[in-house]
């Protein structure tokens, strides 16, 4: 299985859609195991039950697994039980052993299970997607609906696991331009069954949107989704300079949803949603707080 991503340099060189391919050997990294499934299998053995219904793709589907004392059998293959199975870890099968779906290059990137099914992810221990009230996938659906994706070219500034992008594609966007600056997050996407694959509609560029946005033509997108990490760790994505660029690339009357976190929740002692709205107005938007973000329309 291949995950296609294209680099900013490919765009500049006009080399077409796919610049390079990373072979993830995903089939070899399945099954994906969480504590919930592990406990289900263990409980079945204790109860003397052999066939157990399990999800080995984080709730996307279920299948029957044969649980035994020595291990459990999936797709004709015997897998071992884990000695320690952490409740905040997702395990994938690599090199004949279960390993956590996490990576450390410049920061610790980790896929984290949720009881909803679709996972969230963390960068250096900071949760990137809301999970308390609803599934991060459903939460993305609600936010994407605010910009009405049908028939639109959409700029998705901070791609993450691609849940926003997935709903844009499902909502019949004509084109989704996603950017993600961290290669390890792109690797997580390749392992996460809930993440969309790049195709004719969805492109995922590995790059820093603050740099890349400068080369996007003015008035070239119909709507923007801006879901940056929190203000304290990515201040540049909340700057006036960046908002001026968002206003430049967006067509008149185009919509922008900017996630900010809930109002009244003071981050770094600041009222981030209202500061964002004020700065967006200065950039040429009509902006109002909406749920846990700011919904803006370019004047």
Ligand X SMILES: C[S@@+](CC[C@H](N)C(=O)[O-])C[C@H]1O[C@@H](n2cnc3c(N)ncnc32)[C@H](O)[C@@H]1O
| Residue of 199, 248, 208, 240 whose CA lies nearest to 224 | 248
Rule CB under 6 A: say whether 128 interacts with ligand X.
yes
User: Which of 93, 164, 194, 285 is the binder for ligand X (CB under 6 A)?
Assistant: 164
User: Which of 26, 45, 146, 234 is the binder for ligand X (CB under 6 A)?
Assistant: 234
Chain centroid to CA 128: 8
Q: What is the contact mask toward ligand X in residues 3 to 32, using x (rule: CB under 6 A)?
A: ------------------------------
Chain centroid to CA 33: 19
Judged by beta carbon, residue 97 or residue 105, the one nearer ligand X is 105
E-only strand ranges, the chain: 2-5, 20-23, 32-33, 51-54, 63-67, 72-74, 77-79, 91-94, 97-100, 102-104, 108-112, 120-123, 126-127, 153-156, 175-180, 202-206, 221-226, 250-259, 285-290, 293-298
CB of 28 to ligand X, least distance (A): 25
Residues composing the chain: 299
Rule CB under 6 A: say whether 243 interacts with ligand X.
no
Rule CB under 6 A: say whether 144 interacts with ligand X.
no
Rule CB under 6 A: say whether 181 interacts with ligand X.
yes
User: Which of 34, 89, 114, 182 is the binder for ligand X (CB under 6 A)?
Assistant: 182
Q: What is the contact mask toward ligand X in residues 28 to 67, using x (rule: CB under 6 A)?
A: ----------------------------------------
Alpha-carbon Rg for the chain, nearest whole angstrom, is 21
Chain centroid to CA 166: 9
- Residues in the site for ligand X, rule: CB under 6 A? 128-129, 140, 158, 160-164, 179-182, 185, 208-210, 227-229, 234, 237
């Amino acid at each position: 299985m291949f995950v296609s991503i294209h680099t900013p340099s490919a765009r500049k060189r006009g080399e077409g859609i796919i610049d390079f391919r990373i072979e993830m050997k995903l089939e070899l990294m399945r099954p994906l195991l969480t504590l919930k499934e592990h406990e289900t299998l263990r409980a079945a053995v204790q109860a003397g039950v052999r066939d157990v219904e399990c999800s080995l793709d984080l709730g996307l589907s279920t299948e029957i697994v044969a649980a035994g004392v020595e291990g459990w059998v999936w797709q004709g293959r015997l897998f071992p039980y884990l000695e320690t199975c952490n409740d905040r870890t997702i395990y994938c099968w690599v090199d004949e052993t279960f390993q956590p779906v996490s990576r450390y290059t410049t920061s610790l990137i980790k896929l984290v299970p949720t009881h909803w099914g679709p996972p969230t992810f963390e960068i250096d221990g900071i949760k990137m997607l809301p999970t308390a009230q609803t599934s991060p996938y459903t939460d993305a659906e609600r936010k994407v609906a605010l910009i009405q994706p049908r028939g639109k070219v959409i700029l998705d500034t901070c791609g993450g696991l691609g849940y926003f992008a997935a709903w844009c594609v499902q909502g019949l966007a004509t084109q989704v331009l996603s950017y993600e600056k961290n290669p390890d997050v792109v690797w997580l996407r390749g392992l996460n069954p809930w993440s969309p694959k790049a195709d004719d509609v969805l492109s995922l560029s590995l790059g820093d949107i603050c740099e890349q946005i400068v080369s996007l033509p003015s008035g070239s997108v119909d709507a923007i989704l801006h879901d940056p990490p929190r203000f304290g760790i990515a201040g540049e994505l909340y700057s006036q300079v960046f908002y001026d660029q968002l206003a430049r690339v967006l067509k008149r009357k185009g919509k922008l949803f900017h996630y900010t976190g809930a109002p009244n929740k003071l981050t770094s002692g600041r009222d981030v949603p209202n500061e964002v709205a004020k700065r967006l107005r200065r950039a040429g938007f009509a902006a109002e707080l909406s749920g846990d973000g700011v919904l803006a329309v370019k004047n």
